[in-house]
Amino acid sequence: MRHRLLTSRWITALALVLAAALANAQTLRFDSAKGKLAVTSVATGLDTPWSLAFLPDGRMLVSERVGRLRIVGADGVLSAPIANVPPVHASGQGGLLDVVIGPQFAADQRIYFSFAQPTARGVRTAVARARLDADATPPRLSEVEVIFAQQDDPPGGHHFGSRLVFDDAGHLFITLGERYHSRERALALDSHLGKIVRIHPDGAVPADNPFVGRTGALPEIWSYGHRNVQGAARHPVTGALWTHEHGPQGGDEINIPRAGANHGWPEITFGREYVTGWRIGEGTARADVAAPVHHWTPSIAPSGMAFYTGTLFPAWQGNLFVGSLKFGMLVRVVLEGEQVVGEERLLTEIGHRIRDVRQGPDGALYVLDETEGRILRIAPAN
């Protein structure tokens, strides 16, 4: 498949189409501590959108949890479902989850996606890569290859994770839930449940992973003791992986998962049991457990995560943005180094489940409104 770079004429045309689409779309204005925001619906008609990725030509690639991938044009028009997506377990919290373009996409057109994969015994989180022919009718995947799958495949429909992040060296980080009823396995190094793993793009294990060569430990594991990680992004300055994960009643966490780190779940947590409110584990801190950078109690049910590095919002540079499913908002987290020093809650007037947040190539923020099945663009109001 041949990748066609856009000429300056096509880039200009794309910009004009996008401007016209935005002018005709409904735009709402909201207050923020750094000025008025213009929030525009740029695409509608999605079914439970889960993840958003930008293609080099400005089009958007969106996963729908029900098991579909779609391309969204600059005019907001949805493509037909992309052909050859593998079967997914679209039940409960399972389905088609994260999608990212590969680090060599301009040369090989490879995308990577995570999904709840049905098995003979149950279901597990898996990751596949494939070549995307975005210009076929309909668009299609080829050379679909599963490069990672959890060893554990219990039944049920909860806590699959899963976000995908590439580092500068081309390693792929995969965040994995502990599947709720198997939470004790989050601390077991012979299990993929409740882990972050690190692999090469073809699925091979990097030789410098922290548990390579350790008896009884899976070599893919990067960090462990996680609950349900649904947000991940690399810090724009340090390059470190930052994540957030769902707690139960309280204890949603922002973490910096370093090599070999134990993040404690379910022995160390700020959360409590559902319904009863009973304490979980043995406390909120322990010397051998990596403490969270920040926690939300009560829970906000975080999902999606992005550092802002654009120029449309100079005052937001370096801030971390996190979607909230429970309270229907976008949270702006202000940082000084690795310390959280402030927080602002945005879009509370909309009150819809925000599933993902990404910075667009135009410097605007784009969020997936899961409730209404739409993509929202956030920019400064004129």
What does pLDDT average to over the chain? 94
C-alpha dist (Å) from residue 193 to 76, 223, 280: 37, 11, 18
Catalytic residue among 3, 89, 158, 159: 159
Percentage, residues of the chain above pLDDT 70:
93
What is the reported pLDDT for 382? 80
Residue 239 has pLDDT above 50, yes or no: yes
Distance, CA of 150 to CA of 159 (rounded, Å): 13
Which positions ≥6 away from 57 have C-beta within 8 Å?
A: 6, 10, 14
The single-letter code of the amino acid at 37 is L
Residue 222 has pLDDT above 60, yes or no: yes
Residue 5 has pLDDT above 50, yes or no: no
Residue 253 has pLDDT above 90, yes or no: yes
CA 90, 73, 234: angle at the middle one, nearest 5? 65
- pTM flag (> 0.85): yes
Distance, CA of 170 to CA of 100 (rounded, Å): 13
Q: Is 295 a catalytic residue?
A: no
Residue 4 has pLDDT above 90, yes or no: no
Residue 16 has pLDDT above 80, yes or no: no
Residue 13 pLDDT level (bands cut at 50, 70, 90) = very low
Of the ranges 22-26, 45-49, 276-280, which one carries the lowest mean pLDDT score? 22-26
C-alpha dist (Å) from residue 25 to 11, 28, 39, 180: 21, 10, 10, 41
pLDDT, tens digit, 9 for 90 and up, residues 343-368? 999 999 999 999 999 999 999 999 99
pLDDT, tens digit, 9 for 90 and up, residues 301-346? 999 999 999 999 999 999 999 999 999 999 999 999 999 999 999 9
pLDDT, tens digit, 9 for 90 and up, residues 99-108? 999 999 999 9
